[in-house]
Homo-oligomer: A and B are copies of this chain.
Amino acid sequence: MSNLALGARRMALGATRGRQAVLTGRRFQAPFTVQAAAAVDAAPSTLAAPATPVTVLDEHTAPERLRGMSTLIFDCDGVLWRGSDIIHNAPEALQEFRRQGKRLLFVTNNSSKSRAGYVSKFSSLGLDVAAEEIVSSSYCAAAYLTSQGFGPGGSRARGKVLLLGWSGVEQELEHAGIPYVGGRGLQVPAMDDLDAMKALEVDPDVGAVVVGWDPNFSYSRLVYASIHLRELPGCLLVATNMDCADHIGGGRMMPGTGGLVKAVETASGVSAVNVAKGGEWLLPYLCRTYGLEPARTAIVGDRMDTDIHLGRQGGLFTCLPLTGVTTLKRLEALPASEHPDVVVRSVAQLAGLPA
């Protein structure tokens, strides 16, 4: 994992002691795609246990296992693409599933993009997917809030959202007609002393704090979010996901949204509702909204703690392609009862195509 000289940027440290950090104000670049890592590095649950063999099916043996399925739910990063690289034969596999009359859904914990943003991403990789087939965690946040009475015609008295997050959630809130403050443009004075913190005003119309991936996250934002949660009775805390960290290539990982949510939970004393894979809300919502029959629905994902967890939680058929974060070795360290129903080298093989 050592990665000591990755590039030209250097940290100006030590010599600057005594000066306050000033984060440069340059605009953030386009949202990016990352490949999610297992929670807390998902160590094998039983270190002493012997390896339990895993059968890896191929394009000749895998398709039969999906024959009875009417709906397929796909994770994206690590299943259909890795970063900006499409998985070999993934577009052809989706075409084949459509030809077979299966309904497809694409469910991702990444909150940096909206549904519309994902349509562009899919399209750029040669994947023809409609917005309605995409369930991003940014969309989930808005859908959850709507289910709680936020938005036009909703029953919520305090209908405004305080957002610590990025453009994906901003766009989904706008699309759902839910007013918000914050997001990329949240300006919070430096919370540097008691007077500053005492002077901060609470917006009484805020009914929920939403935390997504937020590269502008700061102590000042943490103060602002936590005083709303502490001082407005019933104010909800909504997490777009709880992913700990994400692979960005070269053996490096970046902090996910999970740590930001933990900070807000700890400071406010309020527990977050996780609207993404790994939480309790998503699967019943999908079943209700899309009329899913769990027994005829399969999930295809590369993470045990979100994708396969979601599937096992709801009695879905679970498929793990080895193109993402979960290795065969890690699977074999788990008891057989925790293995996915099908393991394949890639999503292509599920459709009868070579990996």
Contacts and interface: CB of A to CB of B under 8 A. Distances in A.
Interface in A213-232: 214-224, 226-227, 230-232
Interface residues of A, number: 98
A152 B206 CA distance: 53
A180 B226 CA distance: 31
Interface stretch (A5-13, A96-104, A122-130, A143-151): A5-13
Nearest to A256: B267
A255 interface: yes
B193 A29 contact: yes
A51 to B, nearest CB: 23
Query: In the complex this chain forms, how many copies of it are found?
Result: 2
Interface in A237-271: 244-245, 248-256, 258-260, 262-269
Query: Helix, strand, loop or mixed for chain A's interface?
Result: loop
A184 interface: yes
**10 cross-chain pairs, A with B, having the tightest CB-CB distances, nearest first:** A7-B199, A255-B267, A259-B266, A259-B263, A16-B185, A13-B181, A28-B192, A262-B262, A9-B199, A17-B185
Interface of A: 1-14, 16-30, 32, 34, 40-41, 170, 180-204, 214-224, 226-227, 230-233, 244-245, 248-256, 258-260, 262-269
13 contacts: A1-B233, A11-B188, A12-B187, A13-B203, A19-B187, A20-B185, A198-B250, A216-B218, A219-B255, A226-B245, A230-B245, A258-B266, A259-B267
